[in-house]
Chain A
């Protein structure tokens, strides 16, 4: 910023003339600084990919191709198969989406279609407060307050559905307060604000004339939403949901505290499990050698997954936003 002071417009105008191609040194320096800052984003992303991949190289060579697709994680025996964590990441993210998406879309519709702007503002504020609570505080509350309370409910449900097909293997024994399901619920709380705010933005792009047309045909509000709002905004809402998925997959500390820290592949959603970010957070401190490289490799996988999801999701959201500007 200090270079800016060197730019002297009076001299520039006097000596070079307004139509000259020559620009003062300060002016050009500032432009280069701005360009460098912009490019920093790209540099950091490339460096993340490069350094973490380099640090995990010994894991890839240690495990080989079959080891990379193995669920066998036993640090004592030098087995570092990542698939139990990939499974846990997928399960917790799906649980979170199943709970958060209907609630988020409903709130987005409430804000755009039902209440007046004066009422909408405090509602937006309250929903955003969910995002202000730090991840670690969700985790602290989750493990000390929420999980013990959920354990009783889990026990009751598990007792009831134990012998029921489909439900039995999902919600039967064994139960634990710290489990896939608890992690999924906490994640649902944490991704609700972003899914809500992006859905709201997308839904707000529906042209008023579509709404008025539906009302003019005598549609009720629900029918107007299904007939006019939803067809127009479903693509963008899918993008918002994907961004929520990316957040749910990468959210670390809250999950590390409440997931139960057990690297297993099981259908029991009430059983303790593990996911990728949580195992990195919990075990990186005492890891070294191939173990550390394996955790770094999990980070690389997580980075690849979230980058792909975010690129696709941002593409969808941007496209639906552009359509609004074009219309």
Chain B
């Protein structure tokens, strides 16, 4: 259907009527262009509004004490205690998820691009990785709850599993795009000097694509760090600090924001804004790191 309409192109009978008066046509064209700019303005307004609110309200909460002190009871005003356990939890759980998902994702991408090629299995895996990026994050939470939490209890590790499931398909797809950009001449050169395929992949292809792979992985980590839904049923949000990420209830910034947003107390809401600013700051740092890596270490790009 789409192909047929593409062939009609500009000769399509229901297309624009070029016999209309020139002034009217130009006016319509100008109005359409203005509407496109207006659409962009419509996006800037809420974005600016959100970022302004988070920075203004969050800056009031943030201090060194806020980032390190333990979480106080919700009724206490801003200035007592902080979000220390949540900061630790977010960093630990996200890092653990990255340690699991990034190597597996890169290996999966290597399978798709270097071994599977255009075979049906590789194409199927790539397609399902795309589909998996669209699976709602809360489903990952329910999944890990059924698979892990019911048998081994709540822990930071369970949260990391859920975040890892979210990151895996993103890492696979972004790494695969980067591997695809490596020219075949490098592979052939490597074979020509007698390298095995695994040696070729590890010493020639991966180093050539490493910039893009790292920056893609950093973006996946940034996205996972802000996720809440997969954590709610896997870490059992607690207010106390738990340095052991492998067992016992844990907490994270995103989960604390969710809990505090429902509280009627000013102090709890203020701490939620502070946590929101911290979370956005973490995401931005990871994004900037990704840009720096892209700028400095990318050899092949689209």
Task: Name the residue of chain A whose CB is nearest to the CB of B286.
Answer: A132
Contact B135 A250 (CB under 8 A): yes
Task: Write out, one digit per residue, whether chain B residues 4-40 have a CB within 8 A of any chain A CB (1) or not (0).
Answer: 0110111010011010000001101100110111111
- Assembly CA distance A224 to B25 (angstroms): 12
Task: Name the residue of chain B whose CB is nearest to the CB of A298.
Answer: B142
> In residues 230-265 of chain A, which contact B (Cβ within 8 Å)?
231-232, 234-236, 243, 246-247, 249-253, 256-257
* Given A234-B5, A257-B258, A23:B196 Cβ within 8 A: yes
- The reply on B217 being an interface residue by CB < 8 A is no
- Assembly CA distance A320 to B287 (angstroms): 30
Contact B129 A41 (CB under 8 A): yes
- Assembly CA distance A6 to B35 (angstroms): 61
Contact B39 A37 (CB under 8 A): no
With beta carbons under 8 angstroms apart, the residue of A24, A27, A131, A323 that contacts B3 is A323
Q: Name the distance in Å between B244's Cβ and chain A's nearest Cβ.
A: 22
**Interface SS of A by simple majority:** helix
With beta carbons under 8 angstroms apart, the residue of B103, B139, B257, B269 that contacts A1 is B103
Contact A54 B146 (CB under 8 A): yes
Contact A4 B202 (CB under 8 A): yes
- The reply on A47 being an interface residue by CB < 8 A is yes
B: interface residue count bin: 35 or more
Q: Name the distance in Å between B184's Cβ and chain A's nearest Cβ.
A: 17
Contact B283 A320 (CB under 8 A): no
Contact A306 B227 (CB under 8 A): no
Determine the chain A residues whose CB is within 8 A of the CB of B150 once the complex forms: 55
- The reply on A272 being an interface residue by CB < 8 A is no
- The reply on A143 being an interface residue by CB < 8 A is yes
Task: Write out, one digit per residue, whether chain B residues 174-213 have a CB within 8 A of any chain A CB (1) or not (0).
Answer: 0000000000000000000011111101100000000000
- The reply on A51 being an interface residue by CB < 8 A is yes
17 A-B pairs in the complex with CB atoms less than 8 angstroms apart? A37-B110, A38-B111, A38-B116, A41-B169, A52-B139, A55-B142, A103-B43, A132-B222, A136-B226, A144-B261, A146-B49, A227-B16, A231-B9, A232-B6, A252-B229, A280-B138, A306-B139
